[in-house]
Amino acid sequence: MNKYPEIILGTVQLGIDYGISNTKGKPATEEAIEILTVAYQNGICCLDTAEGYGNSQHIIGLFHKKFPACRFNIITKLSAKSLQGRSIIDLINSDLNEMHIDCLEGYMFHNYKDFEEFNFIHKDLTALKTKGVIKKIGVSVYTNEEAIKVLDSGLTDFIQVPYNLLDNDYQRREVFEKAASSKIKVHTRSVFLQGLFYMEHQHIPEKLKPLIPYLQKIKEMAEEAGISIQEMAMLYVRSNPLIEACLLGVANVEQLHENVKLTNGTLNPGILERINAIRVFEKNLLNPNNWN
Protein backbone atom coordinates (compact mmCIF):
# COMPACT_ATOMS: atom_id res chain seq x y z
CA MET A 1 0.00 0.00 0.00
CA ASN A 2 1.36 3.44 -0.91
CA LYS A 3 2.02 5.91 1.88
CA TYR A 4 -0.57 8.26 0.39
CA PRO A 5 -3.55 7.39 -1.80
CA GLU A 6 -3.16 8.08 -5.50
CA ILE A 7 -5.09 11.10 -6.75
CA ILE A 8 -7.63 10.28 -9.47
CA LEU A 9 -9.21 13.21 -11.30
CA GLY A 10 -12.97 12.94 -11.57
CA THR A 11 -14.41 14.20 -14.85
CA VAL A 12 -18.15 14.31 -14.21
CA GLN A 13 -17.87 18.12 -14.03
CA LEU A 14 -16.41 18.15 -17.56
CA GLY A 15 -19.45 16.44 -19.05
CA ILE A 16 -22.48 17.69 -17.13
CA ASP A 17 -23.51 20.45 -14.71
CA TYR A 18 -22.54 18.95 -11.36
CA GLY A 19 -21.96 19.98 -7.76
CA ILE A 20 -24.07 21.82 -5.21
CA SER A 21 -21.55 24.69 -5.04
CA ASN A 22 -20.91 24.84 -8.81
CA THR A 23 -22.87 27.84 -10.10
CA LYS A 24 -21.16 28.10 -13.51
CA GLY A 25 -21.97 24.66 -14.91
CA LYS A 26 -19.64 22.52 -16.98
CA PRO A 27 -16.63 24.25 -18.56
CA ALA A 28 -16.29 24.92 -22.28
CA THR A 29 -14.42 22.30 -24.30
CA GLU A 30 -11.25 24.39 -24.43
CA GLU A 31 -11.17 24.81 -20.65
CA ALA A 32 -11.93 21.13 -20.13
CA ILE A 33 -8.93 20.23 -22.29
CA GLU A 34 -6.82 22.69 -20.28
CA ILE A 35 -7.92 21.05 -17.02
CA LEU A 36 -6.78 17.66 -18.32
CA THR A 37 -3.51 19.17 -19.55
CA VAL A 38 -2.72 20.74 -16.17
CA ALA A 39 -3.65 17.50 -14.41
CA TYR A 40 -1.27 15.51 -16.62
CA GLN A 41 1.51 18.06 -16.13
CA ASN A 42 1.09 17.73 -12.36
CA GLY A 43 1.50 13.97 -12.36
CA ILE A 44 -2.15 12.93 -12.16
CA CYS A 45 -2.24 9.87 -14.37
CA CYS A 46 -5.71 8.42 -13.83
CA LEU A 47 -9.18 9.74 -14.70
CA ASP A 48 -12.59 8.66 -13.43
CA THR A 49 -15.46 8.99 -15.89
CA ALA A 50 -18.68 7.20 -16.89
CA GLU A 51 -20.77 6.44 -19.93
CA GLY A 52 -23.50 8.52 -18.28
CA TYR A 53 -21.41 11.65 -17.65
CA GLY A 54 -22.61 13.61 -20.67
CA ASN A 55 -19.73 14.16 -23.10
CA SER A 56 -17.00 13.52 -20.52
CA GLN A 57 -15.60 10.51 -22.40
CA HIS A 58 -15.64 12.51 -25.63
CA ILE A 59 -13.60 15.28 -23.96
CA ILE A 60 -11.04 12.71 -22.82
CA GLY A 61 -10.86 11.40 -26.37
CA LEU A 62 -10.26 14.91 -27.69
CA PHE A 63 -7.37 15.32 -25.25
CA HIS A 64 -5.78 12.03 -26.28
CA LYS A 65 -6.21 12.92 -29.94
CA LYS A 66 -4.65 16.35 -29.42
CA PHE A 67 -1.77 15.02 -27.32
CA PRO A 68 -1.08 11.48 -28.63
CA ALA A 69 2.06 11.14 -26.48
CA CYS A 70 0.03 11.71 -23.30
CA ARG A 71 -2.19 8.90 -22.10
CA PHE A 72 -4.29 8.78 -18.96
CA ASN A 73 -5.30 5.53 -17.28
CA ILE A 74 -9.10 5.49 -17.43
CA ILE A 75 -11.72 4.13 -15.05
CA THR A 76 -15.22 4.32 -16.48
CA LYS A 77 -18.63 3.10 -15.37
CA LEU A 78 -21.47 1.17 -16.91
CA SER A 79 -24.54 3.06 -18.05
CA ALA A 80 -27.59 0.79 -18.01
CA LYS A 81 -29.13 2.96 -20.72
CA SER A 82 -26.11 2.50 -22.98
CA LEU A 83 -26.28 -1.28 -22.55
CA GLN A 84 -29.80 -1.54 -23.95
CA GLY A 85 -29.68 -3.53 -27.18
CA ARG A 86 -25.89 -3.92 -27.07
CA SER A 87 -23.45 -6.44 -25.68
CA ILE A 88 -21.08 -5.33 -22.95
CA ILE A 89 -18.17 -6.18 -25.24
CA ASP A 90 -19.45 -3.85 -27.97
CA LEU A 91 -20.12 -1.13 -25.39
CA ILE A 92 -16.62 -1.27 -23.93
CA ASN A 93 -15.04 -1.31 -27.40
CA SER A 94 -17.07 1.82 -28.15
CA ASP A 95 -15.73 3.43 -24.95
CA LEU A 96 -12.16 2.61 -25.95
CA ASN A 97 -12.64 4.08 -29.42
CA GLU A 98 -14.27 7.23 -28.08
CA MET A 99 -11.46 7.88 -25.60
CA HIS A 100 -8.66 6.79 -28.01
CA ILE A 101 -7.19 4.21 -25.62
CA ASP A 102 -6.33 0.51 -25.89
CA CYS A 103 -7.53 -0.70 -22.50
CA LEU A 104 -9.31 0.40 -19.34
CA GLU A 105 -7.63 0.69 -15.97
CA GLY A 106 -11.00 -0.15 -14.47
CA TYR A 107 -14.60 -0.79 -15.44
CA MET A 108 -17.20 -0.23 -12.76
CA PHE A 109 -20.84 -0.85 -12.03
CA HIS A 110 -22.22 2.63 -11.37
CA ASN A 111 -24.11 1.46 -8.29
CA TYR A 112 -25.03 -1.65 -6.34
CA LYS A 113 -28.38 -1.97 -8.09
CA ASP A 114 -26.62 -2.34 -11.46
CA PHE A 115 -24.15 -4.79 -9.93
CA GLU A 116 -27.07 -7.05 -9.02
CA GLU A 117 -29.35 -6.42 -11.99
CA PHE A 118 -26.69 -6.91 -14.67
CA ASN A 119 -25.00 -9.91 -13.09
CA PHE A 120 -25.16 -11.67 -16.47
CA ILE A 121 -22.25 -9.54 -17.75
CA HIS A 122 -19.82 -10.67 -15.04
CA LYS A 123 -18.63 -13.55 -17.23
CA ASP A 124 -17.89 -11.23 -20.17
CA LEU A 125 -16.14 -8.72 -17.92
CA THR A 126 -13.94 -11.48 -16.52
CA ALA A 127 -13.10 -12.59 -20.07
CA LEU A 128 -12.18 -9.02 -21.03
CA LYS A 129 -10.02 -8.80 -17.93
CA THR A 130 -8.23 -12.01 -18.90
CA LYS A 131 -7.53 -10.51 -22.34
CA GLY A 132 -6.16 -7.31 -20.80
CA VAL A 133 -8.94 -5.09 -22.16
CA ILE A 134 -9.93 -4.33 -18.57
CA LYS A 135 -7.36 -4.37 -15.78
CA LYS A 136 -9.76 -4.21 -12.82
CA ILE A 137 -13.48 -4.61 -12.15
CA GLY A 138 -15.14 -2.40 -9.55
CA VAL A 139 -18.41 -1.20 -8.03
CA SER A 140 -19.43 2.22 -6.78
CA VAL A 141 -21.43 1.90 -3.55
CA TYR A 142 -23.07 4.24 -1.07
CA THR A 143 -23.78 2.23 2.07
CA ASN A 144 -21.67 -0.08 4.18
CA GLU A 145 -24.25 -2.81 3.64
CA GLU A 146 -23.77 -2.58 -0.13
CA ALA A 147 -20.00 -2.55 0.25
CA ILE A 148 -19.98 -5.66 2.43
CA LYS A 149 -22.14 -7.56 -0.10
CA VAL A 150 -19.77 -6.60 -2.92
CA LEU A 151 -16.71 -7.58 -0.89
CA ASP A 152 -18.31 -10.95 -0.09
CA SER A 153 -19.16 -11.61 -3.75
CA GLY A 154 -15.56 -12.21 -4.83
CA LEU A 155 -16.37 -10.64 -8.20
CA THR A 156 -14.48 -7.35 -7.96
CA ASP A 157 -10.98 -5.97 -7.58
CA PHE A 158 -11.92 -2.65 -6.00
CA ILE A 159 -14.81 -0.68 -4.57
CA GLN A 160 -15.46 3.05 -4.58
CA VAL A 161 -17.07 4.57 -1.48
CA PRO A 162 -17.75 8.07 -0.14
CA TYR A 163 -15.25 9.25 2.48
CA ASN A 164 -14.73 12.70 3.94
CA LEU A 165 -14.74 14.81 7.10
CA LEU A 166 -18.34 13.84 7.92
CA ASP A 167 -18.68 10.51 6.11
CA ASN A 168 -15.58 9.60 8.03
CA ASP A 169 -13.62 6.79 9.63
CA TYR A 170 -16.34 6.36 12.24
CA GLN A 171 -18.78 5.63 9.41
CA ARG A 172 -16.49 3.58 7.13
CA ARG A 173 -13.91 1.74 9.23
CA GLU A 174 -15.79 -1.57 9.00
CA VAL A 175 -15.66 -1.47 5.19
CA PHE A 176 -11.99 -0.47 5.00
CA GLU A 177 -10.89 -3.23 7.33
CA LYS A 178 -12.92 -5.91 5.55
CA ALA A 179 -11.60 -4.77 2.16
CA ALA A 180 -8.03 -4.96 3.44
CA SER A 181 -8.54 -8.48 4.79
CA SER A 182 -10.15 -9.48 1.46
CA LYS A 183 -7.27 -7.92 -0.52
CA ILE A 184 -9.74 -5.70 -2.39
CA LYS A 185 -8.65 -2.11 -3.03
CA VAL A 186 -10.62 0.91 -1.82
CA HIS A 187 -11.11 4.09 -3.83
CA THR A 188 -12.88 7.02 -2.19
CA ARG A 189 -14.90 9.94 -3.50
CA SER A 190 -16.76 13.02 -2.16
CA VAL A 191 -13.65 14.59 -0.58
CA PHE A 192 -15.38 17.98 -0.39
CA LEU A 193 -18.96 16.64 -0.47
CA GLN A 194 -19.60 18.55 -3.72
CA GLY A 195 -18.24 21.73 -2.12
CA LEU A 196 -20.74 21.70 0.77
CA PHE A 197 -17.91 21.98 3.32
CA TYR A 198 -16.95 25.49 2.29
CA MET A 199 -20.33 26.93 1.32
CA GLU A 200 -21.59 29.93 3.27
CA HIS A 201 -24.18 28.59 5.68
CA GLN A 202 -26.87 31.00 4.47
CA HIS A 203 -26.56 29.48 0.98
CA ILE A 204 -27.00 25.90 2.11
CA PRO A 205 -30.34 24.42 0.91
CA GLU A 206 -33.04 24.06 3.54
CA LYS A 207 -32.98 20.27 3.37
CA LEU A 208 -29.28 20.22 4.33
CA LYS A 209 -29.46 22.71 7.20
CA PRO A 210 -29.39 19.90 9.82
CA LEU A 211 -25.73 19.43 8.75
CA ILE A 212 -24.78 23.02 9.69
CA PRO A 213 -23.74 22.20 13.30
CA TYR A 214 -21.33 19.57 11.97
CA LEU A 215 -20.05 21.96 9.30
CA GLN A 216 -19.49 24.60 11.95
CA LYS A 217 -17.52 22.09 14.00
CA ILE A 218 -15.12 21.27 11.16
CA LYS A 219 -14.78 24.98 10.36
CA GLU A 220 -13.69 25.63 13.94
CA MET A 221 -11.23 22.73 13.80
CA ALA A 222 -9.67 24.08 10.61
CA GLU A 223 -9.31 27.52 12.18
CA GLU A 224 -7.63 26.01 15.23
CA ALA A 225 -5.24 24.09 12.99
CA GLY A 226 -4.49 27.23 10.96
CA ILE A 227 -5.48 25.61 7.66
CA SER A 228 -8.37 25.93 5.23
CA ILE A 229 -11.30 23.54 5.29
CA GLN A 230 -10.27 22.39 1.81
CA GLU A 231 -6.80 21.52 3.03
CA MET A 232 -8.13 19.74 6.10
CA ALA A 233 -10.55 17.75 3.94
CA MET A 234 -7.81 16.69 1.53
CA LEU A 235 -5.24 15.85 4.20
CA TYR A 236 -7.84 13.85 6.10
CA VAL A 237 -8.45 11.49 3.18
CA ARG A 238 -4.76 11.37 2.33
CA SER A 239 -3.94 10.26 5.88
CA ASN A 240 -5.77 6.93 5.62
CA PRO A 241 -3.36 4.09 4.70
CA LEU A 242 -6.23 1.72 3.86
CA ILE A 243 -7.18 3.79 0.79
CA GLU A 244 -5.49 3.06 -2.53
CA ALA A 245 -6.86 6.05 -4.45
CA CYS A 246 -8.79 9.24 -3.80
CA LEU A 247 -11.14 10.71 -6.41
CA LEU A 248 -10.91 14.49 -6.74
CA GLY A 249 -13.27 16.58 -8.87
CA VAL A 250 -12.74 20.13 -10.09
CA ALA A 251 -14.84 22.57 -12.12
CA ASN A 252 -12.03 24.78 -13.45
CA VAL A 253 -8.26 25.11 -13.78
CA GLU A 254 -7.98 27.36 -10.73
CA GLN A 255 -9.57 24.71 -8.51
CA LEU A 256 -7.21 22.09 -9.88
CA HIS A 257 -4.14 24.23 -9.13
CA GLU A 258 -5.43 24.88 -5.60
CA ASN A 259 -6.22 21.24 -4.91
CA VAL A 260 -2.89 19.97 -6.22
CA LYS A 261 -1.18 22.24 -3.67
CA LEU A 262 -3.26 20.64 -0.90
CA THR A 263 -1.97 17.12 -1.53
CA ASN A 264 1.23 17.69 0.43
CA GLY A 265 1.56 17.85 4.18
CA THR A 266 0.11 15.95 7.11
CA LEU A 267 -2.76 16.47 9.50
CA ASN A 268 -2.20 17.09 13.21
CA PRO A 269 -2.92 13.79 15.05
CA GLY A 270 -5.13 15.60 17.54
CA ILE A 271 -7.28 17.09 14.76
CA LEU A 272 -7.39 13.71 13.03
CA GLU A 273 -8.68 12.09 16.21
CA ARG A 274 -11.36 14.75 16.62
CA ILE A 275 -12.54 14.35 13.03
CA ASN A 276 -12.81 10.60 13.48
CA ALA A 277 -14.97 11.20 16.55
CA ILE A 278 -17.59 13.19 14.61
CA ARG A 279 -20.78 11.17 14.40
CA VAL A 280 -23.42 12.42 11.97
CA PHE A 281 -26.82 11.11 12.97
CA GLU A 282 -28.53 12.33 9.78
CA LYS A 283 -26.54 9.86 7.66
CA ASN A 284 -29.02 10.05 4.78
CA LEU A 285 -27.95 13.66 4.18
CA LEU A 286 -24.38 12.56 3.48
CA ASN A 287 -25.58 10.95 0.25
CA PRO A 288 -26.05 13.56 -2.53
CA ASN A 289 -28.64 11.27 -4.13
CA ASN A 290 -30.93 12.27 -1.27
CA TRP A 291 -30.48 16.01 -1.73
CA ASN A 292 -33.18 16.55 -4.38
144, pLDDT greater than 80: yes
- pLDDT tens column, 41-53: 999 999 999 999 9
**pLDDT (mean) for 216-232:** 94
Percentage, residues of the chain above pLDDT 70: 96
Q: What is the chain's Cα-based Rg?
A: 19
Helix (H, G, I), strand (E, B) or coil at 284: helix
Tell me whether residue 107 is in a domain: yes
286, pLDDT greater than 60: yes
264, pLDDT greater than 80: no
User: What CATH number is associated with residue 264?
Assistant: 3.20.20.100
**pLDDT in the model for residue 163:** 97
Tell me whether residue 1 is in a domain: no
Residue 255's domain spans which residues? 6-290
Torsions phi, psi for 196 (to 5 deg): -60, -35
- 80 contacts: CB under 8 Å, gap ≥ 6: 110, 114, 117, 118
Q: CA 252 to CA 154: how far, in whole Å?
A: 38
Tell me whether residue 162 is in a domain: yes
- pLDDT tens column, 75-93: 999 988 888 888 999 999 9
22, pLDDT greater than 50: no
Beta bridge partners of 177: none
3, pLDDT greater than 80: no
**pLDDT (mean) for 158-182:** 97
Tell me whether residue 172 is in a domain: yes
**N- to C-terminal Cα distance for the chain?**
37
Tell me whether residue 116 is in a domain: yes
**pLDDT in the model for residue 25:** 67
Tell me whether residue 91 is in a domain: yes
Q: How many domains does the chain have?
A: 1
Tell me whether residue 125 is in a domain: yes
